Structure 1
Amino acid sequence: MLVEQTTALHTLAASLGDPSESLLSLRAWCGVYLQDLADLARAIPLLEQTAADQVRVLGDDHLHTLAARSNLAGAYRAAGDLGRAIPLYEQTLADRERVLGGDHPSTLSSRNNLAYAYRAAGDLGRAIPLHEQTLADQVRVLGGDHPSTLSSRNNLAGAYRAAGDLGRAIPLYEQTLTDRERVLGGDHPDTLTSRNDLAYAYRTGGDLGRAIPLYEQTLTDQVRVLGGDHPHTLTSRNNLAGAYYAAGDLGRAIPLYEQTLADCERVLGGDHPDTLASRNNLAGAYRAAGDLGRAIPLYEQTLADRERVLGGDHPDTLASRNNLAYAYRAAGDLGRAIPLYEQTLADRERVLGGDHPDTLAVQQNLAITFIRRGRRLGRVSKSG
């Protein structure tokens, strides 16, 4: 109701001249609120309009204008549109450093957001140093217990995990969770996020004995605190299904993946990045269960959707390409698997670099596929 009322008020104000600064601030709040609900279809146009209004009414360098740009960049990132998010984050950071100085809390927040976007794009070479610099600056300026500092620490741990450096990621996740429980309380949304992230790191390290109970606890707490349809709750449900999958418990993983995908489609929409991730994960579970008749079409749909929504070079799109090639190989269709692996390898080398763990993984998959083709050709030759 508030969003609808402020929209009507904005339309009336715009017909009489420029909206007031207070109305623009309220509109900005509504845009962020919609983004927090993962209603990006309404959030992004609202934030785009608000940013344009702020520039016209308040000027390029006004604090509210800079905040509006940062919020819009965050919405683009949440939608997986890193091609628009990253340049806008970079511009906002440069403007805040010039207008506010390097140590202003808003500048530090911009630095953290840009590092997070680099990480989402798979550019860990830029993400990790920027996360490290931002965390050091926030500890110095804001103190070790400030909520923004705790967020930076959690994000740096995530970048280490993405780089495969669990030796640095897990202790940092554990420290952040302890600090958030002490400073924010056990039920704070950021604390629940820390619990989920730590469980993910345990799972990545193969420690399912610690990962699964932590996921189960986190999901229960998020349902109680945030509700069953909150985006964070949906993420936890997906992650718990992933832990069951990793433990080989497909009897619990597949129904939970199916439930999560249905919920994501209903709450977030079919094109939301989290929905696409759920679809990909469900396809993987079907493949693991040997049900390639359901896995392959779902992988194909997910790849097509990710190419359309996220772009061909997004890390999730590259992962989908690799997964579909894997499914073709599992079905014995090497004629489709090999070209797709080759394309994926070339793309990952170009986008992520030759030494990235994901690039090395697809190299290994392609090599195994060539070996299998050689064995198949050898059998044909002998039988001839």
Structure 2
Amino acid sequence: MGKGVEAENMSVRAIKVRKKILSNEDKDTLSGIAIVGLAFNLNGRWDEAKELEVQVMETRKTKLGVDHPSTLTSMANLASTYRNQGRWDDTEKLDMQVMETSKTKLGVDHPDTLTKTRKTKLEVDHPDTLTSIANLASTYRNQGRWDNAEMLDVQVMETSKTKLGVDHPSTLASMANIASTYRNRGRWDDAEKLEVQVIKTSKTKLGVDHPFTLTSIANMASTYRNRGRWDNTEKLLVQVIETRKTKLGVDHPSTLTSMNNLAFTWKENGKETEAVRLIEDCVRGRKRVLRANHPYFISSCTALDTWKAEQEDIILSNRRPN
């Protein structure tokens, strides 16, 4: 059983205990339900995640108010699930609501007393607001609304540079998001320029083997792959895979994702045998850590079946008499 599934099962058991001792509307119970929802989300069980996240969101709206930070967090979690399901309109609606509310929140409980409330004004450059803007930009990217995504991402990046600094992780993340938009628009030079900057700063500030640095290198590999620069792509992906194996483990989802990407790179570059072997390793790894109905596991299995069928067709074709 994979660690993700194991963690999910432990969370579910904890919730059952809390429900017996406390009520469904107790804040600790709601926090536990939210954690289970996140676990379902990570494991690709999006319908079940949505059901729990809606429950948490509606209860928090009633108990805490629409503008409470915990309510906004539950709305953002639900938006993330909708995003994974490809429900872009629903995602955008929630993202927009969270973003606008984050700019000006009313009725936030004072940390020292539940009876005294205060009014908190959040400017556009507040970290929570920037996060909600970035989430909305992500939704726009998934919808292919590149102009909208780029406009918001640039706003986040420029504000982060001013308020947090050029080399702050949040600033680097916003730069990486803009590079992603450029990559999806075929603006390879612009994407590569930003990615080089992100990687260089990440290596200096976070370290060569930091997860964000490795993700940035993987993004650069994606840009190279789209440009048909196979040798550069392979070199970077192999580097990412080996480091992730050492730092995160062979079966870590990020390690398996980079293996999957390298397999597809080899396939596109005509390295059929190597591609099949690697995607087989990826399938075995994902089988160990994911459920059988997880989209990533299904995707790798489909690729493996297709590639093997293609190999068999070639073998049969070569055996036929001329």
Q: State the TM-score, normalizing by the size of structure 2.
A: 0.79
1:230 has 2:135 as partner: no
CA-to-partner distance for each residue in 1:211-257, whole Å, 9 max, x for gaps?
A: 12221121111112222222221111111111100110001001111
| Number of equivalences | 304
Counterparts of residues 186-201 of structure 1 (less than 5 Å): 186-201=124-139
Aligned equivalent of 2:69: 147
Kindly tell me: are residues 342 and 91 of structure 1, through their superposed partners in 2, closer, same or farther at Cα, counting changes over 3 Å? Answer: same
Aligned equivalent of 1:65: none
In structure 2, C-alpha distance between the alignment counterparts of 1:230 and 1:100, rounded to whole Å: 41
More moved, 357-366 vs 197-206:
357-366
Kindly tell me: are residues 182 and 329 of structure 1, through their superposed partners in 2, closer, same or farther at Cα, counting changes over 3 Å? Answer: same
Residue 326 of structure 1: how far off its partner (Å):
0.9
Kindly tell me: are residues 143 and 344 of structure 1, through their superposed partners in 2, closer, same or farther at Cα, counting changes over 3 Å? Answer: same
Q: How much is the aligned-residue C-alpha RMSD, in angstroms?
A: 3.3
Aligned equivalent of 2:142: 204
In structure 1, runs of 5+ residues without a counterpart are 1-80
Aligned equivalent of 2:110: none
Residue 171 of structure 1: how far off its partner (Å):
1.7
Partner secondary structure for residue 104 of structure 2: helix
Counterparts of residues 174-323 of structure 1 (less than 5 Å): 174-183=96-105, 184-323=122-261
Aligned equivalent of 1:42: none
Please, which of 56, 69, 72 is the counterpart of residue 134 of structure 1? 56
Residue 307 of structure 1: how far off its partner (Å):
2.8
Amino acid at match of 1:264: S
% identical equivalent positions: 33
Q: For the Cα contact (< 8 Å) 1:109–1:148, is it kept in 2?
A: no
Kindly tell me: are residues 266 and 114 of structure 1, through their superposed partners in 2, closer, same or farther at Cα, counting changes over 3 Å? Answer: farther
1:164 has 2:86 as partner: yes
Aligned equivalent of 1:343: 281
Aligned equivalent of 1:57: none
Q: For the Cα contact (< 8 Å) 1:122–1:315, is it kept in 2?
A: no
In structure 2, runs of 5+ residues without a counterpart are 106-121
Q: For the Cα contact (< 8 Å) 1:237–1:256, is it kept in 2?
A: yes
Amino acid at match of 1:137: T
In structure 2, C-alpha distance between the alignment counterparts of 1:109 and 1:249, rounded to whole Å: 42
In structure 1, C-alpha distance between the alignment counterparts of 2:269 and 2:72, rounded to whole Å: 46
Kindly tell me: are residues 260 and 162 of structure 1, through their superposed partners in 2, closer, same or farther at Cα, counting changes over 3 Å? Answer: same
Report runs of 4+ in structure 1 exceeding 6 Å deviation: 81-101, 381-384
CA-to-partner distance for each residue in 1:328-369, whole Å, 9 max, x for gaps?
A: 112211111012223323444554444443344334544554
Kindly tell me: are residues 92 and 370 of structure 1, through their superposed partners in 2, closer, same or farther at Cα, counting changes over 3 Å? Answer: closer
In structure 2, C-alpha distance between the alignment counterparts of 1:357 and 1:182, rounded to whole Å: 38
Q: For the Cα contact (< 8 Å) 2:137–2:149, is it kept in 1?
A: yes
Kindly tell me: are residues 117 and 305 of structure 1, through their superposed partners in 2, closer, same or farther at Cα, counting changes over 3 Å? Answer: farther
Q: State the TM-score, normalizing by the size of structure 1.
A: 0.68
Aligned equivalent of 1:56: none
Kindly tell me: are residues 95 and 305 of structure 1, through their superposed partners in 2, closer, same or farther at Cα, counting changes over 3 Å? Answer: farther
In structure 2, C-alpha distance between the alignment counterparts of 1:270 and 1:186, rounded to whole Å: 32
In structure 2, C-alpha distance between the alignment counterparts of 1:287 and 1:165, rounded to whole Å: 28
Q: For the Cα contact (< 8 Å) 1:245–1:253, is it kept in 2?
A: yes
Q: For the Cα contact (< 8 Å) 1:121–1:315, is it kept in 2?
A: no
